[in-house]
Homo-oligomer: A and B are copies of this chain.
Amino acid sequence: MAIDERKFRILQAIIDDYILTAIPVGSRTISKKYETSLSSATIRNEMSDLEELGYLDQPHVSAGRVPSAKAYRLYVDQLLQQGKILKANPESIRGHFQDRARQMEDVIGHAAQVLSSLTHYTALVMSPKTPETRIRTIQLVPVTSSTALVVIVTDSGIVRDSIIRIGNDMDADALYSISRMLTNRLAGHTLSEAQQTLAAQEPPAVQQVVASISDLIGDVQKQGAAGKLAVGGSSNILSFPEYSDVEKAKGFLSLLETKEKLLQLLEQDGEMAFTVRIGPETGIPELVDCSLVTASYRLGNQSHGTIGVIGPTRMQYGQVFGILRALGEHLSSLLKQDEG
């Protein structure tokens, strides 16, 4: 038995209704609200077939039907294939980003806030990963007589700084000449090349400084490979009856606090327009009743970041796609402008 066009229409109606109400959908509801030309008995037969095919679940015998993960999958694939993406109002997004944010962390934090308040779901925003970035400038800035700030600028515009200990006999000019020397030697190299170069030739005078800088380069690399994550609207999930159970809610919120797992989850996505993971497809027990929708946004020409939304499986997918697309475009333009 295959799923024909009418079955699909009925399934769609069930999903639409369930997304709105979160109440198991009965045959009579469909017959009255959606397929008015068919009687409830006919719908019933079709629903029975759909259940057999694995698209519907029945919480108990005298309740209506609930869409399965398989049903959502079909629904979403159809949505994406037909390009049924609700247009979000770009103005409403731009309005939230009036004041220029200066640091990447501020931007992604703010974006997560905006995304969660627009969708009413939980928002994730990951900064772009920059695994194979090249050094552009290294500069030492005096802080105290015995410490200095190392600033590393890479070609992806990522800046990382850290305070290191220096010998007592260095003034600003001495630091500047070291900076020039390092920049000359390392500019254009990838981070790992730079670390090797530094390890190979250590001028004894600046040995300690160079070692610290080498450490820092390792940090930059590690961090660039990982990407930073901002979460917004954690508590939104509590608005949904799916999470009225406190234990479940706690599991979900704890998951949000351990960002490693989330990063891992987001990193599985390539540079797709949209990735949708429905319930068990996430592979995380706490998210069996959730869907994760992610999209990527471009930063310059080489690296990309990820934005996403976690909500109940009965998510307003079409709307979420639209908002993600609009926000992604906005972020891309925002960051491009920053870079000049």
Q: Are A235 and B253 in contact (CB under 8 A)?
A: yes
Taken residue by residue from 98 to 142, chain A's Cβ proximity to chain B (1 for < 8 Å, 0 otherwise) reads as 000011010000000000000000000000000000001101011
Question: Measured between alpha carbons, how far is A151 from B153 in the docked complex, in Å?
Answer: 12
Q: Are A234 and B250 in contact (CB under 8 A)?
A: no
Q: Are B257 and A250 in contact (CB under 8 A)?
A: no
Give the copy number: 2
Q: Are B139 and A143 in contact (CB under 8 A)?
A: no
Residue A302, interface by CB 8 Å: no
Residue A340, interface by CB 8 Å: yes
Residue A316, interface by CB 8 Å: no
* Interface residue tally for chain A (C-beta within 8 Å): 45
Residue A163, interface by CB 8 Å: yes
Question: Measured between alpha carbons, how far is A216 from B340 in the docked complex, in Å?
Answer: 18
* Closest B residue by C-beta to A147: B340
Residue A263, interface by CB 8 Å: no
Residue A157, interface by CB 8 Å: yes
Taken residue by residue from 76 to 113, chain A's Cβ proximity to chain B (1 for < 8 Å, 0 otherwise) reads as 00000000000000000000000000110100000000
12 A-B pairs whose Cβ atoms sit less than 8 Å apart in the complex: A102-B162, A103-B162, A137-B142, A137-B172, A144-B157, A144-B339, A147-B339, A149-B151, A234-B253, A235-B253, A238-B250, A249-B249
Rank and list the top 9 A-B pairs by shortest CB-CB distance, nearest first: A235-B253, A238-B250, A102-B162, A147-B340, A139-B141, A146-B340, A235-B254, A143-B153, A244-B246
